[in-house]
Structures are given as structure tokens and as C-alpha cells.
Chain A
Amino acid sequence: MRLADQLRTTTFLLTLRYMVLFFLSVTILFVFISWSATDYIEQEIDATIQAEVAGLNEQFTQLGPQGLARIIAMRISANPDGNAVYLIADASLNPLLGNISKWPELTSDTNGWVSFEHNEANGDSITVRARIFAPEPDLRLIVGRKVRVLAQLTRLLDRALFWGLGITLALALTGGLMMSNNVLRRVNQFNLTSRRIMDGDLSQRIITAGTGDEFDELAKNLNAMMDQIESLMKNIQHISDNVAHDLRTPLTRLRNRLEDLRQDADSGETDDIDCCIEDAEGLLATFASLLSIARIESGTYEADLNHVNLSQCVRDAYELYKALADEKSIHLSCDAPGEINVRGDRNLLFQAITNLLDNAIKYTPAGGTVSISLQQKPAHIEVSVADSGPGIPADQRDQVLQRFFRLDKSRSEPGAGLGLSLVQAIAQRHGARLELDDNAPGLLIRLIFDDQTDR
């Protein structure tokens, strides 16, 4: 099975849909985690700074500016690589003491917090969150913390999000493909079997995997349904065989009595009796056509399948109908070269071709043309019959294939409206299709046998 088929399956699309949903929810979760973690860390930092500011303020009240400077110098030297940032400056912001070299460019928020970018010794830029306080009018003090942890955490979360979602995507795609592959294989089995059944082999059944899953359940039910249909079909066949026997036998009697009557009748009555015999025969012929269409359609007709030289069939049909066409002054031409073979039942195919010719000649007025041709196209074999008659309106082309359907203008012609139905039934039995087209003017009927290499 092709990848494109697989990508179209419901399973795959469902997987894809769930994946998008999962993607969204994971992203939301990550954003939330990242947001709350950042918030928590910020609060921690803020609390630390607040505590330190409070502490330093107390030291200043007790020990004065010298004491404050001493304590800050001590804290800086105790942890030179730490995250703490201190700077003491005078009223005109000239730095006096601290572990940053100059008064920074500050961005402040509404709550009295400031932040600034600090350049590390190794060149990295890092954000510092800080508070400024003035223990006395000509003294400014910055107490801050580098928010290194926060940056690290954000980077970590971003990476986790990227890889996590990437792997999820890959797993979802593979899983989706595998699942759809699995489902498709089962569904294909169903399709294959039902196609064989539609082709007329009613004995086909879907193989169950024996796992008792929902597909097996479905297969079991379908198989049970097919069992029932098959037995019904057999019943119908049985009934129609019996009907054929039981109805045709009394009709035989009727016909035989009429023949007897005719022998003993006066010469004046024989014509009437002949008409009755002809009517009875017409009735029986219609009945016979109907039965044979039904039997061919139901697939119970055991066609004698062989390689049939379709070219020969077409030429024979042409030869058979040439005389009739001549009599009606219709120009009949034939183009059926060489030996083109199809697999089928020779008598049925010939009957289909003669029915098409018969129709074409019947509905073409004197002086018209009818042509039959057989062509080997790249992908199919095509028998086409074209006439210069009145044609069939596009909206009625499907209907003429139905039993007993007759165009209003053809009701005066003899026939029961079964000719094309029989051709259609024969075509279907051979896996061929019947196409009706406008021959402008007239009708063009094509009997198309698709490539039969796999038959």
C-alpha cells in the first residue's frame, strides 16, 4: 500500500489530531511551569534583597557609614564570585565602594525595584535585580542579586520543551503510521473480499485474525450476512429455475394446442391462430430474456470462460448483419483488425455485439450509416458501435440500460426494452463497462474491457 493512502486513513488523521491537542496542552503546561517557577525564584530573590537592605540599614544606624562600608567590604571579599552586588556612591553618584565599577544605567519598576545589565569578567552580560536606598542624604547604596539561576532555569525549560515536543512528534508520526498501516491492512482485506463478492463469487469470506477485536467482530457479522445472502440467492435461483419450468411448461402446452388447432382449422382462421402463436412466442422470448439477464447478473450463470477472439466475433456479427443493413439501405462498415483476445464466454459476447448492432440498425433511418469497430487501446479493449440515428438524450442514457425502459419515440418499434439490459448484464459479467455517448448525430455505444492482464 502506498504512503499517500496511509496518510489519508482515519487512524492517521486521528493520531495527528490528538498529537496537535497534546502539543497544545504540553505547551500550556510548560508555559505555566516556567511562569510559576520564574515567579517563585523572583520572589525568593526579592525577599533576600529586602532582608539584606533591612539588615544593612540596621548596621548603618548602629555603626555609621564606616561600619556599613566595613561590613559590605567583608561580604564582598567573603564571596567574590557570588551573586550579591553592592555599590556605595556619593550624592552625585560617584562610586565609593562595591563590586561593580560604576553607577549603572537603571530601569526601575513601580514598586521601587530596579534592574540593570552587568558585564561579567568573562564578557557575559547578566541581569541584576536590585534596590537602592539612601541611609543619609549624601549617600546612595545599591543592594542587588544577579538573576543567574532564573536565566539558567528558563534556558533549561526551553530546551526541555523543544526536545520533549520533538520526540513526541516523531513518536506520534511513527505510531500513527504503524496504526494506520495495521488498520489499512485489515480494511484492505474487507475491501478485497467484498470486491470479489461483487464480481459474483458469493462464496468469498473475510478471514478473521482470531484476536476477537472489533474488526473480527465486524468480519464475523459480515460473513454471517454473506451466508444469509448466499442462501437467499440460492433460493432465488432454485425458485427461478422452478418458475421457468413450471411457467414455461403450461406455455408450451398453450402453444402446442394452438398448433394443433391450426392444423384442423379452416383456412380463414389460420392467420388469427398464427398471430396467437406469434404472441405466445413473443411472451416466451421476453420471459426467456428476463430470466437470462437475471441469471447473468446474479452471477449464477456459469459462463464458459475462455480466450475469445473478439476480432472474429465482431467480424462475424458484421457479416451476419450486413445483409439486414443492405436491405434497409444502411451503410454498415466494420473495422476489426487482427486477433484481439479477451477472456469470456464466446456466445454471450457475440450476443452482446449482435444486440448492439441490431439496435443501431433498428433505429437508424434508411440511407444512414452504422459502423462497428474494435480497437486495442493502451489500457483497454474497446468495441464501439456508432450510428446516425436519432441518438439518446444525455439525461436518458442511464435509463435505457434498465429493464423494460423504452424511449417514447421508440415505442412503436417491436421489442421489449431488454436488449441493452442484456448487453449491460453481459458486460458486467465480463468486468467490462458500457458507455453511451453522442455520435453527433446518432448514438455511440462503447463496450470497454479494461486491461485484463490480472485476470
Chain B
Amino acid sequence: MRILLIEDDSSVADFIVRGFKEAGNTIDHADNGKDGLFMATTESYDVLIVDRMLPGVDGLSITRTLRASDDHTPVLILSALGQVDDRVKGLQAGGDDYLVKPFAFSELEARIDALCRRSQGKTETETTLEIADLHMDLLSREVRRGNQVIALQPRDFQLLEYLLRHKNQVVTRTMLLENVWDYHFDPQTNVIDVHISRLRAKIDKDFDMPLIHTVRGAGYKIDATG
């Protein structure tokens, strides 16, 4: 994956660059808006990570400029302004996702993965999702683990579907609230955890290999590594 990071805070930038390099991606870094916009328009990237407040050209202007020139590379906007109205402004400017500082690297990685997959259109045509011996049929809305049919309530089904669409990736509580419940704010309570533990009781409890894992300080991940 080729990533461009436009961020003026060198410490945050180092942290992001190191994280993505360790995960085997190519990442370029610009420390001001002008250079960043130049790099974004002259080179081809899979995804852009843009800080909202930048010296020179700010993050929203960069996004608007790219969209105006018909460039639809996914953009994730980073900001310390964690309000819904800023989120709305960011999304209106053409951003595809919005992440508030401070964030766990795993949340950024999860969102970047989700953005790339969305832009590649991989999830559009799937009718079944699976991991290990867990199968989800999106048409008949049936979930099976091994030979056993698991009955799920609609919300649990949606929750599992979202986890499966992002299998092997970390999804955060905020991402779950946004995508499963369709409300945008940072939940300050453990209410999402309760839903996960209920889902876990249904799909993991009677089986040897747990599929849903808690990632401390970040969120949850469904994978078959045991």
C-alpha cells in the first residue's frame, strides 16, 4: 500500500511512518500543506492521511483541491478537534474518514485498511463471509459455525458482519458505533463491549478456537489465529 502522510507534528508523523513501515507499506511524509499538495498531485497514492491544521495550506483545502481536480484518492483527515461539526466539515470537504487525535495506531491502521478496501470495491459483490469454520450467508441471513446453526438477533448479525468484513483488522468501538448503529460520537462507556461479549457467547463459547479477540487500548479483531 502506498500512503502519503501530510502532518506537521514530527513526533506524530514519526510514529505513523514507523507503524506503517513495520506493517510493510510504503509511506511518504510531507511536513507542510504546500509540499503535501504538490506530492499528492504529482504522485499516485492508495490513500492520503492529512492533518487538518497545517502550516501553508490546511488539510481541508488540500482535500477540496484534490476533489476539484477529480482526484478520488481516499483521504483520512486527522485532527485534534474532536467535534461532530468538524467531522461534518471534514467530510463535506471531500474527506472519506475522520480521526481524532489522540488515536491508537491500530485504529488508524484499521481505518486506513477499511478505506483502501472500500475504494477497491472488494466488498460489493460478496454474498458469503467466512473465517475458519464460521460462515455467514448474507442472502439467507444464516450463520453457521461448523455444522451448528447460530441464531443471531439482527443487531448481532450486523455486528458480526462488520467484524467479518474487516477480518484480521482491528475495529474500534467508535467504528462499531458508526457503522453498526449509525451514530457518530465517541462512546465513553463500555456499552459496546457488552454487545461484543454477547456475540462472543454465541459464536465462541462452545468452540475450542476463539475467533473474536480484544485488542487492549484499541478495540476488537476477528481472526483465526487462535
Binding site for B on A (CB under 8 A): 241, 244-245, 248-249, 251-253, 255-256, 259-260, 274, 277-278, 280-281, 284-285, 288-289, 291-292, 295, 301-304, 316, 319-321, 323-324, 327, 345-348, 350-351, 354, 358
B217 at the interface (CB under 8 A from A): yes
| B: contact size bracket | 35 or more
Contacts of B68 in A (CB 8 A): none
Contacts of B12 in A (CB 8 A): 249, 252-253, 256
The answer to whether A350 and B105 have CB atoms under 8 Å apart is no
The answer to whether A291 and B82 have CB atoms under 8 Å apart is yes
Contacts of B67 in A (CB 8 A): none
The answer to whether B101 and A252 have CB atoms under 8 Å apart is yes
Q: Known interface pairs A248-B80, A302-B85. Does A256 touch B15 (Cβ–Cβ under 8 Å)? A: yes
Contacts of B197 in A (CB 8 A): 327
Contacts of A280 in B (CB 8 A): 102
Contact of B82 among A292, A324, A346 (CB under 8 A): A292
Contacts of A324 in B (CB 8 A): 190-191, 194
Contacts of B102 in A (CB 8 A): 248, 251-252, 255-256, 280, 284
Contacts of A259 in B (CB 8 A): 104-105, 217
B122 at the interface (CB under 8 A from A): no
Contacts of A291 in B (CB 8 A): 82-83
The answer to whether B53 and A245 have CB atoms under 8 Å apart is yes
How far does the Cβ of B218 sit from chain A's closest Cβ, in whole Å?
Answer: 9
Q: Known interface pairs A277-B217, A350-B183. Does A358 touch B101 (Cβ–Cβ under 8 Å)? A: no
The answer to whether B217 and A274 have CB atoms under 8 Å apart is yes
The answer to whether B191 and A347 have CB atoms under 8 Å apart is no
Contacts of A274 in B (CB 8 A): 216-217
The answer to whether B186 and A288 have CB atoms under 8 Å apart is yes
Q: Known interface pairs A256-B12, A278-B217. Does A244 touch B80 (Cβ–Cβ under 8 Å)? A: yes
The answer to whether B105 and A256 have CB atoms under 8 Å apart is yes
CA of A277 to CA of B183, assembled, Å: 26
Contacts of A358 in B (CB 8 A): 189, 191
The answer to whether B11 and A316 have CB atoms under 8 Å apart is no
The answer to whether A303 and B185 have CB atoms under 8 Å apart is no
How far does the Cβ of B18 sit from chain A's closest Cβ, in whole Å?
Answer: 8
Contact of A347 among B9, B84, B101 (CB under 8 A): B84
The answer to whether B82 and A316 have CB atoms under 8 Å apart is no
Contact of B198 among A288, A289, A323 (CB under 8 A): A323
CA of A301 to CA of B12, assembled, Å: 27
**What are 16 A-B residue pairs whose CB atoms fall within 8 Å in the complex?**
A249-B12, A249-B80, A252-B102, A252-B103, A255-B104, A256-B12, A259-B105, A285-B186, A288-B100, A288-B186, A289-B188, A295-B83, A303-B85, A320-B195, A323-B194, A351-B183
Not counting A252-B103, A256-B12, A256-B102, a sample of 13 additional A-B residue pairs whose C-beta atoms are within 8 angstroms of each other reads A244-B81, A249-B80, A255-B102, A256-B11, A274-B216, A281-B217, A285-B186, A285-B188, A292-B82, A295-B83, A301-B84, A323-B198, A345-B84
Binary interface profile of B, 1-31, with partner A (CB < 8 Å = 1, else 0)? 0000000010110010000000000000000
How far does the Cβ of B7 sit from chain A's closest Cβ, in whole Å?
Answer: 10
Binary interface profile of B, 189-206, with partner A (CB < 8 Å = 1, else 0)? 111001101100000000
B38 at the interface (CB under 8 A from A): no
CA of A142 to CA of B85, assembled, Å: 108
CA of A302 to CA of B80, assembled, Å: 17
The residue in B12, B102, B185, B195 that gathers the most chain A C-beta atoms within 10 A of its C-beta is B102
How far does the Cβ of A20 sit from chain B's closest Cβ, in whole Å?
Answer: 58
- Interface hits, B84-128 → A, CB 8 Å: 84-85, 88, 100-105
The residue in A252, A285, A295 that gathers the most chain B C-beta atoms within 10 A of its C-beta is A252
In the complex, the chain A residue whose C-beta lies closest to that of B180 is A320
CA of A248 to CA of B101, assembled, Å: 7
CA of A354 to CA of B195, assembled, Å: 15
Contacts of A354 in B (CB 8 A): 187, 189, 191
The answer to whether A245 and B188 have CB atoms under 8 Å apart is no
Contacts of A327 in B (CB 8 A): 194, 197
The answer to whether A301 and B216 have CB atoms under 8 Å apart is no
- Interface hits, B40-81 → A, CB 8 Å: 53, 79-81
How far does the Cβ of B56 sit from chain A's closest Cβ, in whole Å?
Answer: 16
The answer to whether A351 and B185 have CB atoms under 8 Å apart is yes
CA of A239 to CA of B80, assembled, Å: 13
The answer to whether B82 and A288 have CB atoms under 8 Å apart is yes
In the complex, the chain A residue whose C-beta lies closest to that of B87 is A347
Contacts of B155 in A (CB 8 A): 319
Contact of A301 among B11, B83, B184 (CB under 8 A): B83
The answer to whether A323 and B195 have CB atoms under 8 Å apart is yes
How far does the Cβ of B15 sit from chain A's closest Cβ, in whole Å?
Answer: 4
CA of A224 to CA of B67, assembled, Å: 42
The answer to whether A304 and B183 have CB atoms under 8 Å apart is no
Contacts of B11 in A (CB 8 A): 253, 256
CA of A285 to CA of B102, assembled, Å: 10
Contacts of B195 in A (CB 8 A): 320, 323
How far does the Cβ of B5 sit from chain A's closest Cβ, in whole Å?
Answer: 14
